[in-house]
Amino acid sequence: MNVQYGAKRSIVRPSHTMYVVTIMTLIYNMDFDYVTKMRYNKEKDLVFVTKPDRFWGESEHVYEMHHLEQMVPAAVTAMKNMSAMDHDGILTVHDMGEKDYLKFYKEDKYWNLELKDEFT
């Protein structure tokens, strides 16, 4: 075995393996908090939320309304440029019971306008 082949086996192959594992971990842990569909039950105390899952599908989650809390936007110097302040920005809701985040688009075309004022 020569020096070049030894360096390839001891340095290059393990570093490439770590690179591939890191990329796959980042892809797996991508941000899947965006809500694709939300429905209330009849009493409006439960919310049924459909979110994308890790394997290119959708899964339904159930949240209790009294555990949901709208997140306050982070303090920045350019408040007018924040997407949370836009009329069609992103609304972040925190579930205090499950320690989970839900992200909703605030644009009117994604909402039933009769129920939007109750939720936001």
Q: What is the pLDDT of residue 28?
A: 76
Residues 6 or more apart in contact with residue 83 via CB below 8 angstroms: 89, 90
| Integer Cα distance of 118 and 71 in angstroms | 16
Q: Are 64 and 50 in contact (CB under 8 A)?
A: no
- Give every residue of the chain whose pLDDT is below 50, as ranges: none
Q: What is the pLDDT of residue 75?
A: 61
Domain boundaries, the chain: 1-30, 31-119
pTM score, two decimals? 0.61
- In degrees and rounded to multiples of 5, residue 47 shows phi and psi of -120, 130
